[in-house]
Amino acid sequence: MTIRIKIGIVKEALNATVLEGEVQLEETVEHIYASDLMSDVLAFGLPNSLLLTGLATKQAVISAHMAEFKGVVFLRGKCPKDGADIYARDKHLVLLSTKHDMYDSCLFISSALNEKHHESVGTVEDQTVGDIILKEDFTIGGRDFANAGMVSTEMKEILKKIGFPHELVRRVAISTYEGELNVIMHASRGKVQLLVSPKLIEVVIEDEGPGIPDIALAMQEGFTTATEEMRALGFGSGMGLPNIKRNTSDLNISSEVGKGTIVYMKFQVQEP
């Protein structure tokens, strides 16, 4: 389950004492790991997690650090007394102590997540086909040529990590890159949303810009409104819409002149 919650919010939710790491309360964690068995933390813990544990020892903090966790919450009022705080300070880990037990702590954190509407998504194994397992948002700056391709590159990494087939990831990356370029070339700003389900990847690119007056025309090969400058930079032999269409399972464009454009791309995950 990937989430996004500030450690400071967890501290409030658990009414916890900060043993170490006051300055790091602004940091965000993406997973909650509830365990007292450090071999499990080491084997299965994901980076940027928060450990909830009743094992109040320095070794627990060391294990959390090795698993690239951001902090440890000691439960049931326990506090390590063996130099764990000094170690945590050195490694920039947050240590909290709460009087609550593991069940209550899990519930308080979950409650805080729902309240703050943080992105909270389910795990692959628990979801049925069609349920979103990952949602990521990106921004694109208009005229930000220096960063052209940053979003599509990041997206490619995410999809690769999840384990989607190479060919599919390439198609998503190309399509997103074309869309990203269009925003940079023509719009004042834009945002990209990636929605991943086990069988479907959706990319929505929405911009604030001049809009496309004639979408059918723009869908023709070679059509471009790129300026000389953009062409010189190598970005503009076309708006890329036909290229996007070729690489997607479904493409939907809606636009309003003077306002902006929404490009909706759908990529079906084929059975191998």
Partner 1 sequence: MTTKELIEKLGLKPLSKFEHREIKGIFISDMVSDVMTGAKSGNLWLTIQTHKSIVSTANLADLSAIIITSGKNVPQETIDLASKYNIAVLSSSAPTYELAIKLHDLGLDKG
Partner 2 sequence: MSKCHHQWEMTNVKYGFVTFDKCFRNNAIKTNFSSTDTPGEEYREGDCIFIRVENAQSFTFDLHCTVCNRLESFKELMGLLQCTDCLPECPVEVLQKEYAIKNTWIFVAFGYLPEANTKPIPDHKLDILTVYFNQRRDTSRSKIKIVPFNLIQNLSRCKGEFIHDVGMLSAEPPPQERKPLL
Report the interface residues with partner 1, using CB under 8 A: 1, 32-37, 40, 44, 52, 54-55, 76, 101-104, 106-107, 110, 123, 125-126
Size of the site for partner 2 (CB under 8 A): 16
Largest pairwise CA distance in the chain: 71
Q: Rule CB under 8 A: which of 20-49 touch partner 2?
A: 36-40, 42-43
Determine, following the binding rule CB under 8 A, whether residue 78 of this chain makes contact with partner 2. Answer: yes
Classified as helix, coil or strand, 12 is helix
Q: Please identify, using beta-carbon distances, which residue of 54 and 238 lies nearer to partner 1.
A: 54
Q: Can you tell me the distance from the alpha carbon of 106 to that of 14, in angstroms, rounded to the nearest whole number?
A: 9
Q: Which residues contact 261 (CB under 8 A, 6 or more apart)?
A: 182, 187, 205, 206, 207, 209, 211, 212, 253, 254, 255
For partner 2, which residue of 60, 93, 185, 253 counts as binding (CB under 8 A)?
60
Minimum CB distance to partner 2, residue 68 (Å): 15
Provide, rounded to whole angstroms, the least separation between the CB of residue 248 and partner 1: 33
CB 176 within 8 A of CB 243: no
Q: Among residues 42 and 215, whose Cβ is nearest to partner 2?
A: 42
Q: Say whether residue 82 binds partner 2 (CB under 8 A).
A: yes
User: Nearest-CA neighbor of 211 among 161, 179, 248, 259?
Assistant: 259
What sign does the dihedral 106-109-111-117 (CA atoms) show? negative
Q: How many other β-carbons are positioned within 10 Å of the β-carbon of residue 117?
A: 7
Nearer to partner 2, 40 or 250 (CB): 40
Binding site partner of 34, from partner 2, partner 1, none, Cβ cut-off 5-8 A by kind: partner 1
Q: Which is nearer to partner 2, 17 or 120 (CB)?
A: 17
CB of 72 within 8 A of CB of 36? no
143 binds, options partner 1, partner 2, none, Cβ within 5 to 8 A by partner type: none
24: DSSP letter:
G
d(CA 237, CA 232): 10
Q: Which amino acid is at 12?
A: E
Residue 106 touches which of partner 2, partner 1, none (Cβ within 5-8 Å per kind): partner 1
CA angle 47, 50, 55 (to 5 degrees): 115
Q: How far is the CB of 124 from partner 2 (least distance, A)?
A: 23
Q: How far is the CB of 27 from partner 1 (least distance, A)?
A: 19
Is position 81 an interface residue for partner 2 (rule: CB under 8 A)? yes
By a kind-dependent CB cut-off of 5 to 8 A, residue 33 interacts, out of partner 1, partner 2, none, with partner 1
Strand pairing category for 200-208 and 189-197: antiparallel
Using CB distances below 5 to 8 A depending on partner kind, what does residue 82 bind out of partner 2, partner 1, none?
A: partner 2
Q: Which is nearer to partner 1, 55 or 148 (CB)?
A: 55
Q: Which residues bind partner 2 (CB under 8 A)?
A: 36-40, 42-43, 55-57, 59-60, 63, 78, 81-82
